[in-house]
Structure 1
């Protein structure tokens, strides 16, 4: 079985943002996201793999026996858009996307061009639903 690359590391979140975010706007949005998510979740930002900033963690295990540890929520300031890992992808949570603002969807990933194009209060509601879902389903590390 292949080794999971998305592991927490001691790499500097600040250094990552400064070197990886390709525009000043993306850097500002990234630092603002760190502040918003850390204040809202109580978890400090940590680097997960080479390009994801994650907050908190949960341990998952599938019926197949495959498992691992992933961040509760996170984001990455990718070239084409900021990828937000704050959504379960579950059908029962689709209503939370209404009023979020301007974004595109992957399976469970939300892509935004600018932080100013989304409603931060709705963003927090989406995070809350995702964290509650993960707490019900998996082992969550609630320590900051």
Structure 2
């Protein structure tokens, strides 16, 4: 089995965020750190170029397994990638869609939400999505 490349604890979160050149993006990143730390009850940890909160171990029926964070984000150049893996689970699909309909300007992949700036979205709805992700992953993976 291939070794997992993205791991927790790969650097200093504060230094990583301070290096964001765009002041508005840096401010939004700090707001996401605050929101996700509060929702997860976990500190921010750098996972490569992603900021993650908490951790869980997953194992699929195929035998593939690894570790990931409960909720997190990456401040990419064009937009934020916000990782909400727990919202992809089948039990919450209907609730996820209802929340996304109220969120504001975004794109959604399977479990990754893309937003250009936090002012484009309803932060209360984003909080609900992050909470859902944390709760569902803890329920599913312990």
After TM superposition, is the score higher than 0.5? Answer: yes
Deviation per residue, 1:85-113 (Å, 9 max, x gap): 12523433222212111111122111111
Partner of 1:29: 28
The Cα shift of 1:47 comes to 0.4
Alpha-carbon distance in structure 1 between the residues aligned to 2:75 and 2:83: 11
Give, in whole Å, the separation in 2 of the partners of 1:40 and 1:29.
16
Once the two structures are superposed, what CA deviation does each residue of 1:49-79 show, in whole Å capped at 9, x if it has no partner? x200000111100112211110000000001
Change (3 A) 1:37 1:125: same
Give structure 2 stretches of 5+ with no counterpart: none
Match of 2:78 in 1: 80
Q: Tell me, yes or no, if the aligned pair for 1:80 and 1:113 is still in contact at 8 Å.
A: yes
Deviates more, 1:92-101 or 1:110-119: 92-101
Paired residue for 2:58? 60
In structure 2, the partner of 1:142 is: none
Q: Give 5+ residue unaligned stretches, structure 1.
A: 140-144
How many residue pairs match? The answer is 137
Query: Residue in 1 aligned with 2:15?
Result: 15
| Structure 1 contact 22–79 (Cα < 8 Å) conserved | no
Name 1:40's counterpart in structure 2.
39
4+ runs deviating over 3 angstroms: none
Q: TM-score, normalised by structure 1?
A: 0.87
- For the Cα contact (< 8 Å) 1:57–1:71, is it kept in 2? yes
CA distance in 1, matches of 2:5, 2:97: 29
Q: Aligned-residue CA RMSD in angstroms?
A: 1.5
- SS of equivalent to 1:9: coil
CA shift for structure 1 position 40: 2.4
TM-score calculated relative to the size of structure 2: 0.88
